[in-house]
Chain A
Amino acid sequence: MSLLLRDSPGARAGLSIALATGLYGISFGALSVASGLNIWQTSVLSLLLFSGGSQFAFVGVIAGGGTGLAAASAAALLGIRNAVYGMQLNALLNPRGWRRVVAAQVTIDESLATSTGQSDPVEQRRGFWVAGVGIFILWNLFTIVGALVGNALGDPKQWGLDGAAVAAFLALLWPRLRSREAGAIAIACAVATVVAVPFVPPGVPILVAAVVAALIGFFQSSRGPEGEGLEPDLDPYRDPETAGES
């Protein structure tokens, strides 16, 4: 293992991202039980849905009083980018048989980013599997830890757990705001949400924003330069010199 790590930049990147990302599971577990889900429901989301944004969306809608349908819809829409990742990874790694099913389950922002961040095909494969499987294991372990801690805390508001949810969503959004256009889309959808809240049932404002975002994407698809920040992947290898810009 140490030999593999020393000689493999893909495995090294995958492991460090797995450690950093797996820990977020604590915040998901705590927020999920604060939203009213029990530990089993929380764990099933981490095991089977296994896509941080979709999981936070699901419990976020439930916490806001939304219906199960609205929660599942928000989670499903936020998972659409995973289909695009799957297409990219299929072309890159071409997994066969049962490996394809496992690869699909561990296809998330971080495994895609780790894999595409490598140039050597062998390292692309190692990066994907180490990040994907590593995050899956740690994410699920820390989800349980977070759910148990959250359960023991009592009134979640007193501990600011609703504030933690706000911070988590902003932190998921933040790295995607790399261009002025991305910022404009975020603001347009935020405004659409605020306007919709008093008029429709909880959960639906998020779907209204989704329609706005999809329309913007549909009508602007013909223009826009490469690397403007709208491509649906996260880049963990951003140059520290330029990471703060845009």
Chain B
Amino acid sequence: MTLWFWIIAACAVGFLTKLLGYLVPRKWLTNPRVARIAGTLTIGLLASLTVVNAVASGERLVLDARLGALVAAAIALWLKAPFLVVVIVGALAAAALRFLGMP
């Protein structure tokens, strides 16, 4: 039930954020600081989410099959594979490493 609450809250905040963009005066956009923080925040959050999902397990850092998924995905991206292929490559790498006995 609590999870439902946070899901609805995230959705409400997400939509209001989008709508806010259509309601603020155009000149705010010309503030380069606002635009840049939006840019750096996006990069920083995505980098953080990548790392958390690769090496964090609760409050511990663990090295397991997910690290193989990270490397495999990086190689796929470097080879310019499309998004869905990259995701599948990541899953296959983790699954294969677990099959071979990695935690």
Give chain A's interface residues, CB within 8 Å of chain B: 20-21, 23-24, 26-27, 37, 41, 44-45, 48-51, 53-54, 56-58, 60-65, 67-69, 71-72, 74-91, 95, 100-101, 103-105, 107, 157-174, 176-177, 182, 185-190, 192-194, 197-202, 205-206, 208-210, 212-214, 216-218, 220-222, 224, 230-232, 243-244
State the total of A-B contacts with C-beta under 8 angstroms: 341
Q: Hey, what's the 0/1 contact readout for B13-29 against A, CB within 8 Å counting as 1?
A: 11101111110101011
| Residues A217 and B33 in contact, CB atoms below 8 Å apart | yes
| Residues A174 and B41 in contact, CB atoms below 8 Å apart | no
Of all chain A residues, the one with the shortest Cβ separation from B69 is A163
Number of B residues, CB within 8 Å of A = 80
A172: B residues at CB distance < 8 A: 46
12 residue pairs bridging A and B, Cβ less than 8 Å apart: A37-B7, A64-B53, A68-B7, A162-B69, A163-B92, A170-B77, A171-B73, A171-B86, A186-B43, A194-B55, A205-B52, A213-B40
Give chain B's interface residues, CB within 8 Å of chain A: 2-15, 17-22, 24, 26, 28-29, 32-61, 65-66, 68-70, 72-74, 76-77, 80, 82-84, 86-96, 98
A68: B residues at CB distance < 8 A: 2-3, 5-7, 9
Closest 3 CB pairs of A and B: A86-B21, A167-B90, A213-B44
A64, A79, A166: the one within 8 Å of B13 (CB): A79
A190, A212, A244: the one within 8 Å of B50 (CB): A190
